[in-house]
Structure 1
Amino acid sequence: MACTSIGGYGYIGICICINFFSKPKLMQEIITYTIVFLAVVFLIRKFFVTSKNDKNCNKGCNCG
């Protein structure tokens, strides 16, 4: 009896997953927002986060 209920829940989970991925507009929005989020994170890290100086750079070399 427990095996049947686990199989039933697995089937419901598969149906929900297939139903979720069968909506192209929803998936397109999720992919778009993910790409926008990653682009914003990249730009924030590139321009606003200070990087550490190179270990090979001396303080008097005007390299940074």
Structure 2
Amino acid sequence: MMTSGQAVKYNSSLDCFRQVVAKEGVKSLFKGAGANILRAVAGAGVLSGYDQLQLIMFGKKFGDGSG
């Protein structure tokens, strides 16, 4: 961070990308991706469950999304 009082580590986003890949490898760019994917799947499950609950409780039908 600029306000941390430490020296600047990277000159740009591209410089950061190059240094990370050189020091830690390409695989390091995907650290934490699994947790993000699980969060997305859980969110999709909640939305799907909500739609099913609406259908069961109220008989609410959803359109095909064509506007």
Structure whose residues are more often helix by fraction: 1
Greater C-alpha radius of gyration: 1
TM-score calculated relative to the size of structure 1: 0.37
**Relative contact order: is structure 1 or structure 2 higher (C-alpha 8 Å, sep ≥ 6)?**
1
